[in-house]
Structures are given as C-alpha cells and as structure tokens.
Structure 1
Amino acid sequence: MKLINKNLILSLVTIITLSACGGGSDESTTQTNNSNTSNPGISNNTTITGQFLSSNDTGKFYSTEQMPSYQQYGKNASHCYQSYNDYYFETENTMVFGNPDLPDTDFKQAAQWVENNFNTALTTMAISKAEYFSNRYSVRLVGLKHIRNQLSSRYYDTIDYPNNFDALTYDQQVDWATKTAKSLTKNEAVELLVNDPYSPFQTETQTVLEDKIYVCLHEKNTTNGWGEGSLSGITIGAPSLAIPHEVEKIVTHELIHTIQHALSANFEGLGLPRWYSEGQAVLLSGMEVAKKSDHNEYDPTLVVSYYDETGDQAIAYSHYGLAYQYLKDANGQPSIVNMMKDMKRITYNYSQQKNSTLKEFHGYVESFDKLMKQTNASTLTVQQYRDEYHALMSAY
C-alpha cells in the first residue's frame, strides 16, 4: 500500500481553511474540529487585557456605509456589517466584532490570536506598525471614492485644480482626482466629507477607521474558508464553532493579506495576482513551500486570479510560495515592499487595462517591471517571469 505523506495532508487541510483568500470557493469540505483542547493553538484559559464595548457608546462601528463593500471588509463579513456592527472586544491592536450571543471567550481568543501574530506579520513583511497604519487608508474607502468622483466633477471650490483641468481628457481628470484624494490627510478628507451634503458620511466618527485591526467573527460551522484578509482587517471563524489546524499560521497569513491591502490596494482592488498575494502570505507565515527541485509540477506565475488555478490547491499554494521565495531572495523584502507601494500610486485605467497583452493589473506590471530583479541582478519583467519561470527556477 502506498502511504500518503502526512505533511501533504496537513497542508491540504490548512489550504482548504484559506480557500476564501482572494476569492476561493466554498465547495470543498474538510473535517471540522470543534474541540479547543485538541488544537495546540487554542487556550482554554485565554487571558488578555481588553474590554467589551458598545459602539452606541463609543461611536466606533464596524461599518458605517449604507452599502459596505467586499473590498473594504471581505466576502465573509456580511453579518458584521449587516447585523453585528455595534458590539466589540477591544485590545491594544484590535477590535473584534461579532454576534453578542457568542461566548465572550470567542472574542477574547480572536483578539489573542491577533495580538500574538500581528508583530510577526509586520516583521516578516519588513514594515513597522506605524508604517502599516500610515499606508492603510484612514478614511473608509467609499468616502475616498466619493471625494475622487466629486473632484473629477470639479465640485469642491476649496481645492486648487490644475490650470489646464478642463483641457484634460476624462482619464487624465480621473487620474488627477484619484491621486489628489489619496494624498489628502485624514483631517482634510474628513472636512470635505462632513461638509458635503451628498457625502455618504456626516460625522468624523462615521468617516474614519481606528488604528486597529478590525476583526469580524463569522459563524460558519466549518473550517472551509475560515480566514480572510481585507482592507480593514481580517474575518475569522468563531472559535467555539470551528478551529483549523495551524491556526496561528493562518491568522498570520490573513494579517499579511491585510498588510498587502494597506501597501498596494488601489481604489479598484488589491491589484496583486493570486500567485503573488497567496505566495507572499504562504512563505512569510511559515506555511509549506514547494521544493525548488519540484518546480516543474506547477506553473504558478500564470495564476492571475482564482479562476486560473488548476489541480490540487495545496500543491498550488506551495508553488505560489516558491515563486514568491525567488523574488524575496533575488530582491530582498524591503525592495518588494517598495514595489508594492509604487503600484499603489498608479491609477487604474480601463482603456490601458483593456489594451494590455497581460491579465495582470497594469500598475502591478509597471512597478514590477521597473523594480524587480533576477537572482543575477538583471531586470525581471512580469512577462519574463510568466514565460521563463522554469528556466529561472532551474538556475535558482
């Protein structure tokens, strides 16, 4: 009888847990472990400094928009912005929202996981906590998009417009408006929004995000798609309902995703190809990475979206990690962070994207081609990494 590799089984269980990352499917199933005592990542006597609060008293809500977006909060957080956006447990770095009927220990355990792994995620990404929050949009995304739209329509008379604004093309006006909206300080953005009768927000507390990781507890009784990272923070399962294998690594993985959003997300989305976003999170959270000698098993750099993914998902994720490992070894993590920041400054252009020969976001392609190197220090382009991946791996 052929024996199945134990590490492969554990990797598969972990990857199924992450299936919602970046648009995964919920169709896969796995064994749910509802016992805290059987998982080494769970403490039955969680002790953490924090307090339970009502948003009606503090003014700090999970969401304040009439139509919250997946981009801001993720796909699995709907019940937090629809039903349970006003009750939370707050600690130094996080605010955990969820159903008040869940056990208090669920909120505390989720906060403990974030507190345990936030610094790890920051360190492996090579940024500080201050850098993370300064790069994350401090104003809720719908507010920034509203400002962008009003600027492009020349609505605000308190803003200095370019002298040739009316002579610019529509795309040029939107580009200027987008860059201007991004460059506003929190106070400047708040002032525009609260004084705009058409704004989605009327007060500062509705407009801004706290310098915390927003956590939503979903209530799926399964570890499928248990974790998800978004612009505001992460969504994870209530611990009393389901706890995945290697939970600490999974929480770190999702925290890396929210850091990715802070560093590179444009108004239209994250902008990173799936292999990159998942590969970075896999490698830096300490999950299993494919061996260099096995690079011919998969073509990771061709996977731009979830729909490009083929075959065994655990194998795919391990190869995403390998593809990212090459970039990290060739460039260093700080250089990669600079590339991610650079792509954030680029405004999405529909015409440019439509006419591109590549599926990847044109801003990602521009920044990658400009800043990324091979291990021999020569230039590496997105097209080259797609076409010559296995040759590069053979020489790695």
Structure 2
Amino acid sequence: MATSKAMLILSVLAMVLTGCKVTTSDSHHYPDSGGFVSGLFFDARDTGRHYPASAWSLTRYTEACRNEPLYFETHSGRVRVYGSPAYSETSFRAAASELERRIDGVLSRFQLRWSDFVEDRSAAAPYPRQVIGCLSPEVPRSEFVSASPAAVAFNPYYGQWPYEVGQIVTHEIVHFVQENLSRYDAVYSLLPHWFAEGQAIVVAGEPVAPVYQHYDYDPLWDVIPDDAANIPYRFEHYGLAYRYLEKANGALAMTVLLEMVQLLDWDGGFDGEISTGESRAFVEAFNSASLVDHQNNYLSFQRFRSDYHDLLNSSY
C-alpha cells in the first residue's frame, strides 16, 4: 500500500507542478418524495452487512446505528442508510437520496471520480465502496447532519428538515471525504479546524469573507474547535483562508495535500503535534506539497501562518 500510494502522490504532484458550521432556518423542506432515488430495504442479520462498529471511524452522532440491522440501499449499491424501524420509510429514502445525488458533485470539486475515491479512501474505513448513512436521534434539529469517516448521520425526522438541505448535506459530505482522504488509522482528525471548515465552506458554496476584511479575524489560530472565538463570522474567514490556498494552487493540489497527510499517517513517523498545535502529519504534508502563494513563491506552513495577513493584504 505504501509503494502504490507514494507513486500515486508523486505522479499527481508532477501533474500539478480538507466543530462544523451549520445554519438552518425555521422553515422546513418537503421535496417530492416521488423524486427519491430507488432502492431496497435489507436486514443485516440476513446479509451480514452490519453497521460499522469501530470507534476509530464513529462519533457520538454516528454511533447511534451500531445495533440497527435495518438499512436501505440504493440500486447503485453506493449508498446505504441504517436506522430504527421506528423511523419512516421516507426518512430512509430521503437521506439515501441526498447522499447518492451529492457525492459525485463533491468529489468533482476534489478532482476525483467515484472510483478514485474508493481507491484512495483510508484502508481502515469500513465499506470503502459505500457511503454509509445513519438516522440518528443524537443529531439535533439545529445541526441536522453530522459526518464521521465511516458514516453521515441525519436527524431522523424528515418533517423537520430545513430548506437548506442541499448546502448542509454538501458541507458534511465534504467532511466525510476529507477525513477519508487524510486519515489512515489516526484516531482523531489530522486537519486543522480552519482548514477542514474552510474547505467545506468553499465547496458547499457558503459565504466567504471579502479579502479586504481579512484583519477582522485570525482563522489560522483555530487549530481545534475549542480554539475558536464565539463569533459566527469566523466561518467566513475559514473559507477565506482556504480559498487563498486553492486559488493559488488549484483544487487538485488540495486533494494531493490530503493524500499526503494520509501517507504520513500510514508511515507512522509523524505522530503528535507541533508547538502551535497542528498535527505533524499536516504540517509536513503542507511543506512537502510544493504549495505557492499568490505570487507563485514557495509557501511553507510556517510562513502562511505567520504572514497570513500580509499575504492576504497583498493579494488584492
């Protein structure tokens, strides 16, 4: 695996020489149920395809389906949604439809096809050829959807889904893809909070702060969610910081960066964090990915962090 992954990353590099933000309204979304993708219900006790159980790949939201054998699988075989039989058939079909319809659009922003994602996804992830969903009572209405490397959890009450369904689900699928591309077997995310959220915001088409307002917030200081100030517009600044990198380097370079993080996690020689809190795997991958600034000069992680405002200030 190490040799093939290293060759993949080196070849792609030669060609180019990822706490969530959710905003929902009080209005509800009721799309035509006749427009749902087709599929069938199954019982894992018959098929043997039980919901993932590894703590590596689940969160408290996605753990809710561990003991649920009922699942709905789309006819493509790419999406499977587990949940209690107490929830409506509509909820199963709606969640499966959202995952099935949006995964390709998200992957295209990562410059990937479905087959690429399956090949590049972490070897530690269960069901690498499927996107797993979970109807979870742990997901509050205010959040609606929450992703982990193994599954995407939905609030199970379809009647409470907000109008912003598409944007919210897209945002969470981005996190699902990020974690599958950047982790091999690390227990926790190796991506800084600002990077993970910024990429999800840009891909989902959510608001990004204007460049001239970059002094209003220091996004790169938010390495983990607990670092963040209680300021709603910080998410727009995460998007601004990520967009700067993608604009200067391209979306494919960002995907290569994630894959390099996974390779370093597999290697095992870059465990732990640096003094400012970022994972050593992310920082080493960033510095090895030949990223540049808006003037096409080499950009190390340390320079990006220390000179962030100067870089943004000179970019417009």
TMscore range, shorter length: 0.7 to 0.9
Corresponding residue of 2:73:
90
Tell me, yes or no, if structure 1 residue 101 matches structure 2 residue 86.
yes
- Go from structure 1 to structure 2 and tell me whether the alpha carbon gap of 1:349 and 1:55 turns closer, same or farther (over 3 Å shift): closer
Structure 2 equivalent of residue 300 of structure 1: 219
Is residue 219–residue 241 contact of structure 1 (8 Å, CA) maintained in 2?
A: no
SS at structure 2 position matched to 1:15 = coil
C-alpha root-mean-square deviation of aligned residues, in Å?
2.2
Give the corresponding residue for 1:166. none
Distance in 2, Cα, partners of 1:221 & 1:126 = 30
The whole-number CA distance in structure 2 between the counterparts of 1:326 and 1:351 is 26
Q: Quote the Cα distance in structure 1 between the aligned partners of 2:295 and 2:239.
A: 20
CA distance in 2, matches of 1:133, 1:234: 16
* Aligned 8 A contact 1:222 1:241 in 2: no
1:235–1:55 distance in 2 versus 1, CA, 3 Å: same
Shift of 1:265: 1.0
* Secondary structure at 1:45 match in 2: helix
- In the superposition, relative to structure 1, how do residues 219 and 278 fare at CA in structure 2: closer, same or farther (>3 Å)? same
- Name the structure 1 match of 2:258: 340
| Alpha-carbon separation, structure 2, partners of 1:305 and 1:245 | 29
Q: State the partner residue of 1:375.
A: 294
* Superposition map of 1:133-212 within 5 A: 133-140=118-125, 209=127, 211-212=129-130
1:350-391 Cα distance to aligned partner (Å, 9 max, x none): 99636x323100011011012221111111122222211111
Paired with 1:352 and 1:253, the residues of 2 have a C-alpha distance of 28
Structure 1: which amino acid aligns with 2:306?
D
Question: How far did residue 251 of structure 1 move?
Answer: 0.9
SS in 1 for 2:205: coil
Contact 1:55–1:87 (Cα < 8 Å) also in 2: yes
Percent of residue pairs identical:
26
The secondary structure found in structure 1 opposite 2:223 is: coil
What TM-score do you get using the length of structure 2 for normalisation?
A: 0.85
Q: How far 1:340 moved relative to its partner? A: 1.3
Q: Deviations over 1:263-295 (max 9, x none)?
A: 111322320000000100100111111111111
Paired residues, what number?
291
Q: Quick one: structure 1 residues 273 and 239, their matched pair in 2 at CA, closer, same or farther if it must change by over 3 Å?
A: same
After superposition, give the CA deviation of every residue in 1:97-155 in whole Å (9 maximum; x if it has no partner).
Answer: 11111110001111111122111101111111111111223555xxxxxxxxxxxxxxx
Per the normalisation by structure 1, the TM-score is: 0.69
Candidates 123, 126, 141, aligned match of 1:223: 141
The amino acid that maps onto 1:273 is P
For 1:123-138, list aligned pairs within 5 A: 123-138=108-123
Q: Name the amino acid aligned to 1:137.
A: S
**CA distance in structure 1 between the partners assigned to 2:139 and 2:105 by the alignment:** 28
Structure 2 counterpart SS, 1:345: helix
Q: Select the residue among 231, 240, 253 that pairs with 2:158.
A: 240
Residue aligning to 1:59:
48
1:276 equivalent in structure 2 = 195
User: Which blocks of at least 5 consecutive residues in structure 1 are unaligned?
Assistant: 1-13, 18-29, 141-207
Q: What residue in structure 1 maps to residue 5 of structure 2?
A: none
Unpaired stretches in structure 2, ≥5 consecutive residues: 1-19
Equivalent position amino acid for 1:310 in 2: A
CA 1:322–1:31 in structure 2 vs 1: closer, same or farther (change >3 Å)? closer
1:47 aligns with 2:32: no
Contact 1:36 1:44 in 2 (8 A): no
Q: In structure 1, what is the Cα distance between the partners aligned to 2:295 and 2:223?
A: 25
Please tell me whether Structure 1 or Structure 2 has the larger radius of gyration of its CA atoms: 1
Deviation at 1:343, TM superposition (A): 1.5
- Relative to 1, partners in 2 of residues 1:286 and 1:374: Cα closer, same or farther, differing over 3 Å? same
Amino acid at match of 2:275: T
Contact 1:220 1:241 (C-alpha < 8 Å) held by counterparts: no
